[in-house]
């Protein structure tokens, strides 16, 4: 197989990043296994495998579309984060495999709690039939489960990036790639923090525990605005990067 063909096969899912060299080659067995598990998790989210026999049954089935879409979007976010990490570094050492296995376990474990949460949320918003009466204690427990799971998933990604940064010399990461890796680690730590804050708030107010996730967009807007300035400085030609370092004339 020609080198160009290998490069194309490795990058067919998402385009490679302009300023970050993807070090992974062909899709590995670890990546293939992870893709299978993610696909199975999404399959478990499907509303029903049976074709509706009446329009009334179809309407009931369609009520599950929005909860399914929200769950699907969250799993896609996790998959894209995992895929980009795998393509960037191509790590398959024991520690990376262990973190991947724990991540897949969490993804499968949280399929039904996630589906239940979003189904209940959409049902309350649109006034549809509820899954069942939830006491305050039930709601608190549900938000605790979601919060700790959300935090755990992104804590694993933060550990993956921390591991990659520690191997920067072996991976031959340049200054920009090291900065981008540390930035990704910080972003995943921030997402983990949102989950932990939500978990803590769930002890007092399940509603507040849910609203805290609305602040994620604000955080990323501010964080990316600050990071973009540093990225431009790192990508600037050396002559433009530090003009102030020239020795003054005597």
For the stretch 114-169, pLDDT in tens is 988 888 888 777 776 555 567 888 889 999 999 999 999 999 999 999 999 999 99
Long-range interactions of 35-42: CB distance < 8 A, separation 24+: 35/79, 37/104, 37/107, 37/108, 38/75, 38/78, 38/79, 38/82, 38/104, 38/107, 40/108, 41/75, 41/107, 41/108, 41/111, 42/72, 42/75
Answering whether pTM is above 0.85, one says: no
- Looking at residue 130, what is its pLDDT? 54
Q: What is the pLDDT of residue 122?
A: 83
Residue 10 has pLDDT above 50, yes or no: no
pLDDT digits (tens, 9 = 90+) for 153-167: 999 999 999 999 999
Task: Give residue limits of the domains in the chain.
Answer: 18-235
| Confidence check: pLDDT of 50 > 80 | no
The tens digit of pLDDT for each residue in 51-96 reads 677 787 777 777 778 888 889 999 999 999 999 999 999 999 999 9
């Amino acid at each position: 197989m020609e080198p160009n063909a290998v490069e194309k096969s490795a990058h067919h899912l998402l385009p490679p990043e302009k300023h970050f060299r993807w070090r992974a080659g062909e899709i590995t067995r670890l990546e293939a296994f992870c893709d299978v598990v993610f696909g199975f998790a999404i399959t478990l989210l499907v509303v029903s495998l049976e074709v509706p026999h009446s329009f009334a049954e179809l309407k009931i089935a369609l009520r599950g579309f929005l909860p399914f879409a929200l769950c699907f979007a969250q799993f896609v976010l996790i998959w894209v984060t995992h895929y980009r990490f795998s393509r960037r570094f191509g790590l398959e050492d024991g520690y990376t495999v262990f973190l991947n296995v724990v991540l897949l376990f969490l993804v499968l474990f949280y399929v039904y709690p996630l589906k239940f949460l979003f189904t209940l949320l959409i049902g309350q918003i649109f006034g549809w039939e509820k899954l069942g009466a939830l006491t305050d204690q039930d709601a608190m427990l549900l938000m605790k489960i979601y919060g700790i799971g959300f935090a755990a998933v992104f804590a694993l990604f933060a550990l993956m990036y921390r591991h990659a940064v520690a191997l920067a010399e072996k991976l031959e990461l340049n200054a920009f790639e090291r900065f981008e890796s540390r930035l990704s680690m910080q972003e995943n730590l921030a997402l983990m923090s949102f989950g932990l804050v939500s978990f803590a708030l769930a002890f007092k107010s399940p509603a507040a525990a849910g609203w805290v996730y609305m602040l994620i967009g604000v955080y990323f807007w501010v964080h990316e605005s600050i990071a973009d300035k540093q990225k431009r400085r790192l990508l600037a030609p050396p002559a433009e990067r530090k003009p102030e370092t020239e020795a003054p004339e005597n």
